[in-house]
Structure 1
Amino acid sequence: MTRHCLVLGGARSGKTAFAERLALHAGAAPAYLATAEALDAEMRDRVATHRASRGSSFTTIEEPLALPGAIRKAGKGHDVILVDCLTLWITNLLVANEDVSVAVGELSATLLEFRRAKVILVSNEVGLGIVPDNAMARTFRDLAGSAHQRLAAVCEDVYFVAAGLPLTMKGEAPALE
């Protein structure tokens, strides 16, 4: 059975590097499904740096909103799909005035029925700090936390990464070495 995976961690925690190692060990034809939109120079630089650091090991697919369809499509030619990242996806949904809860429900349903390829989801855990001082930031934090809970329930493996070190929260410890 294909085991889907959720990788959580803070900013610059090492979660993407860990997810990339998982993907490279899990299959021969990994796809990198990027949700970021490079709307300014700083974000264009970040995207370019990310792309360069992965080299040619991954096929890059960019999809800021329609993740379930992009996952199903990528599964036709790839045995592993790394989605980076869900918090940017949630931001994109909010900006597009989409219903985040409905979208997360569609993603959860897709993961439950989709077994053609392993899906590795990466997301920022934003609920560990202080309570944000404005309503929009609190709403975002709440939506992200709810999404993480729903997706952790349907993923067989869940990891939390801090200081580059993964902690297995659910499922099997990774065999990467």
Structure 2
Amino acid sequence: MSRPDPGQQALARRAYARASAPARTAVQQAALLVGAVFLLVGILGFIPGVTTHYGSMEFAAHHSGAKPLNIFQVSVLHNIVHLLFGIAGLALARAIPTARNYLVVGGAVYLVLWLYGLIIDVGSNANFVPVNNADNWLHFFLGIGMIGAGFFLTRTTSGVGTTRSRTHSAAGVPGRLCGDAGRPAQHWAACVSVHRRPR
């Protein structure tokens, strides 16, 4: 019985480590994208030129006149909210359940903010965020889109089959080592190469 080549085993282990890292699912990618956009919008809100009337920006008041792209009314508080939502999206995109919750709960928050903008008098102190008509409808479509993505993109994640687990158990690879059916196909080839015993 020939002994396995240590160099080949080392290469196989490195390939296994790379392949065994689970790929991001669609819902994780969506949360990552939304978080990145929020982070970018929050940063742009503090850049003069991109944000017009920058000198009239208030911390939180209805008379804050700063407008990114000369469209959306913002304040320091409004920009901070965008930054926090962005950071949360990047952090919560690491796992499927947290990515889904980020999209669904975040979308619900923006629908509440949309209703808030419709109910209040935008010229009163109640509009402390502040928001204008463009903000309101952006919040509406953003809320619907995030909630829809959170539910739609996770409809099939719980139905992952076990075909790969059975296939690789038949190949003589212990299921406890290579039996995660949710991993990409490259995982299995590398795992078999590492754990198969020479006969």
TM-score, normalized by length of structure 2? 0.25
Q: Which has the higher strand share?
A: 1
Larger RCO of the pair (alpha carbons < 8 Å, separation 6+)? 1
Q: Which has the higher helix share?
A: 2
